[in-house]
C-alpha cells in the first residue's frame, strides 16, 4: 500500500482549485476513486458539471450555502461546514477513495466556519493510503507544517482587477 501524502494549495493567486482538478484528471486516467468536497461554494460551476460525467470514479459534495463574502457567516453556513467535517470522517471509514480533496477548506477556517483544530483532526485521522488535498487562501501554519507538499499561488497580475468579469469555462 502506497502512503498517501497531504497537499496544500494556498495563496492569493488563481489556480488552487484548478490544481486540485488537475489531480482529479490524472487520478481518473489512472482508475483511482476521488472524493471532492467543496466548502463555502454552493453553485454548480462548470467543473462540477464535468465531474458529474465521471461519477463512476469521482464523487462531489458541496458543503456550502453560497458565497457570503459580503456578509457574516450565519449558523446555517457553520452547520453546513461541520456537516462536511463529519462526512469526511465517515468516508475515511469506508476506505473507498484514493484521493480526498477539501476545496476551500482553508478559507473556511479563516472565515470562522470551521475551527483549525477540527481540520487538523481530519489530517491526523486520515487513513495512511489516502491522498488528502486541502485548498484555499490563508492556510494556517499548523496545516502547512503537517503537509507533505505546499504550493502557494501568488497573484502577480489578474485581469479581474482590470474589470474583466468571470468567464464561464475559464473562471467559473
Q: What is the CATH number of the domain that holds 60?
A: 3.40.50.300
Sign, CA torsion 105/99/123/21: negative
Identify whether 83 is part of a domain.
yes
DSSP type of residue 10? E
Q: Indicate the SS3 state at residue 41.
A: coil
Domain that holds residue 24: 6-152
Q: Indicate the SS3 state at residue 100.
A: strand
Identify whether 94 is part of a domain.
yes
The DSSP bridge pattern shows strands 6-10 and 149-152 to be parallel
Query: For 80-99, what is the mean pLDDT?
Result: 96
Identify whether 35 is part of a domain.
yes
pLDDT digits (tens, 9 = 90+) for 8-45: 999 999 999 999 999 999 999 999 999 999 998 766 67
Burial (0-12, 13-18, 19+ Cβ within 10 Å), 111: buried
Residue 41: all three cell numbers together: 461554494
pLDDT at 68: 57
Amino acid at each position: 500500500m502506497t502512503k498517501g501524502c497531504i497537499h496544500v494549495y494556498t495563496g492569493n493567486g488563481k489556480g488552487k482549485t484548478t490544481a486540485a482538478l488537475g489531480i482529479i484528471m490524472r487520478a481518473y486516467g489512472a482508475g483511482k476513486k476521488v472524493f471532492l468536497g467543496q466548502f463555502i461554494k454552493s453553485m454548480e460551476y462548470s467543473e462540477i458539471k464535468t465531474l458529474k460525467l465521471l461519477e463512476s470514479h469521482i464523487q462531489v459534495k458541496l458543503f456550502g450555502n453560497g458565497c457570503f463574502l459580503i456578509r457574516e457567516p450565519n449558523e446555517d453556513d457553520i452547520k453546513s461546514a461541520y456537516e462536511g467535517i463529519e462526512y469526511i470522517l465517515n468516508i475515511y471509514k469506508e476506505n473507498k477513495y484514493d484521493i480526498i480533496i477539501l476545496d476551500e477548506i482553508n478559507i473556511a477556517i479563516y472565515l470562522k466556519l470551521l475551527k483549525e483544530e477540527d481540520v487538523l483532526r481530519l489530517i491526523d485521522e486520515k487513513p495512511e493510503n489516502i491522498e488528502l488535498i486541502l485548498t484555499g487562501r490563508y492556510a494556517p501554519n499548523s496545516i502547512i507544517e503537517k503537509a507533505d507538499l505546499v504550493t502557494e499561488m501568488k497573484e502577480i497580475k489578474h485581469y479581474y482587477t482590470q474589470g474583466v468579469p468571470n468567464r464561464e469555462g475559464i473562471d467559473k
